[in-house]
Amino acid sequence: GIGYTEVGKHRDRTLEDLFVDASRRAIENAGVDSLDGLYVGNMLSVFSGNQGHLAPYLATKLGFPGVHAVSIESACASGGVALAQGVMAIKSGLLDVVLVGGVEKMSGMKTVDVTWGLTFAEDLEHVKRTGVSFAGLNAMLARLYMKTHGLRHEDIARFSVQCHENGLTADHAQLKKRITVEDALSSPVVADPLRLFDACPMSDGAAAVLLQADFDGTDGSVETVASSVATQTMSLHERKDMLCFKASQRAVERAQAQAGITLEEIDFVEVHDAFNVTGLLSLESMGFYSPGKSTYAVEKGETSLDGTLPVNTFGGLKARGHPVGATGLYQACEAVLQLRGEAGSNQIRRSASYGMVQNVGGVDSTSAVHILRGPGT
Amino acid sequence: MKQVELPDTGRLITYTVIRYPPAPFIGEEPYTVGVIELDDGTRVLANLRGTEWEDADREQRVVLHGNHNGRTVFRTFSE
């Protein structure tokens, strides 16, 4: 089962409100009436709302105060890592009916607090010594990427434009408006060379999936055929190859081995575009395109809904939004919609048998990759 | 662990200008942060002097300008 709220600024809703809403939808969608496990992904509730210990808190709010319940924090990968924990509980035989939900409420925070909170994804020693911000790290990455491959800002901006195209028809997306490359290039500078439209918005939202052990294969269920969480050297500047998202590369290799399939068999992919450049670097490090070549694929339309490898089919982090701890679960819900043929105007044109979702924490310090298989595949 | 002395020169790999600082640095913006590869191969994340840095096709050499309030600052090294 899947369930999610609209992504946006829900100023009048609380974190638990959002979580219970998404969770109840997932439970109803699955047609179950009880759970034996709950995994919660969230990054900043302790900082933004002074609320920790989300596992029993949300289990209680949801009406299941006795279950096996765990909270997960892995920065922006909290949702994907929570999903991996839920999958592991099912596959190991520990639990039979597991709800995995991610939630984030950022609209109550001042921008300066969000900026500070996001740096918690990094080694604080380097933040304190230099004043670098999370956007700043991604900006340095973008500058190096463009310089290394002779790319211009237009080339990476096209990724944001494409995400917005898909967001136009995505009911739950935060940003449903078209943008042009010119809009992107003239938007305010965040951290040079990255501008506002290179970056995802600040978002509130919750998304959940209901996992069950008794997989039938004939009842229209989507199966998780691979689940992998990998890491790499925490600090960007200490990496041998700063442009390699090695955590994502490792996670994809391990996931492929688990599922026994090749990348060519992946019909669509949801990548982590906290910034357009991270979406592009993800595609390359994961092995879909050679270094420097993903921008050409976007330009040629290969990554659009009717292309050979649809990417971010509901707008990705840029247009659907990025409620930090929930994003990994939004990606999973969107993949399920594609595989069930329930994506409406956002349905990819080629048939969907296998989908891959990639959720990253920090600048690819953590990467949680899952491969989902559609019913009847 | 042993202490080693690092060279004070290197090449600038990438940089950015911070305009929206993390909390402890509010009020100091704008300032520059860069990744420098020192001449012995060590990589450091440090501040760069000033905010007028530009992209260049050629290698940008930098030299240690000083240590101020725990911040390590590099400047352009024009040979």
> What is the ipTM score, two decimals?
0.95
**Pair A191, A74: CB distance under 8 Å:** no
pLDDT of A227: 98
Interface membership of B19 toward A (CB under 8 Å): yes
DSSP A98-120: EEEEEEE--TTS-HHHHHHHHGG
Model confidence band, residue A152 (pLDDT cutoffs 50, 70, 90): very high
Structure tokens at A214: 């008794």
pLDDT at residue A219 greater than cutoff 90: no
Whether A164 is catalytic: no
pLDDT at residue A220 greater than cutoff 90: no
- A15 Cβ contact partners less than 8 Å away, ≥ 6 residues apart: A42, A45, A49, A51, A103, A104, A105
pTM for the predicted model, two decimal places: 0.97
> Which of A10, A164, A272, A322 is labelled catalytic?
A322
Q: Cis peptide leading into A193, omega within 30 of 0? A: yes
Q: From the list B13, B16, B26, which residue is nearest A139 (CB)?
A: B16
pLDDT at residue A126 greater than cutoff 60: yes
How far the first Cα of chain B sits from its last, in Å, is 35
Q: Write out pLDDT tens, residues A159-173.
A: 999 999 999 999 999
pLDDT of B77: 79
pLDDT of A217: 61
pLDDT at residue A218 greater than cutoff 70: no
Which regions of chain B are under pLDDT 70? 78-79
Interface membership of A133 toward B (CB under 8 Å): yes
pLDDT of B69: 78
For the stretch A335-340, contacts whose Cβ atoms lie closer than 8 Å and that sit 24 or more positions apart, written own/partner, are: A335/A222, A335/A268, A335/A270, A335/A370, A335/A372, A336/A2, A336/A209, A336/A222, A336/A372, A337/A2, A338/A267, A338/A268, A338/A313, A338/A374, A339/A222, A339/A372, A339/A373, A339/A374, A339/A375, A340/A220, A340/A222, A340/A374, A340/A375
**Pair A164, A181: CB distance under 8 Å:** no
Interface membership of A120 toward B (CB under 8 Å): no
Residue A236: strand, helix, or coil: helix
Percentage of chain A beyond pLDDT 90 is 96
> Judging by DSSP bridges, how do beta strands A97-104 and A37-41 pair with one another?
parallel
Q: Write out pLDDT tens, residues A312-361.
A: 999 999 999 999 999 999 999 999 999 999 999 999 998 899 999 999 99
Percentage of chain A beyond pLDDT 70 is 99
Question: Inter-chain contact B16–A237, Cβ cutoff 8 Å?
Answer: no
Q: Write out pLDDT tens, residues A228-245.
A: 999 999 999 999 999 999
Which residues are B61's β-sheet partners?
Answer: B11
Interface membership of A237 toward B (CB under 8 Å): yes
Smallest Cα distance from A234 to chain B, Å: 13
- Calculate mean pLDDT across residues A115-134: 97
- A120 Cβ contact partners less than 8 Å away, ≥ 6 residues apart: A43, A44, A47, A75
Q: Write out pLDDT tens, residues A75-96.
A: 999 999 999 999 999 999 999 9
pLDDT at residue A275 greater than cutoff 60: yes
- A135 Cβ contact partners less than 8 Å away, ≥ 6 residues apart: A115, A118, A190, A191, A194, A199, A275, B20
Whether A76 is catalytic: yes
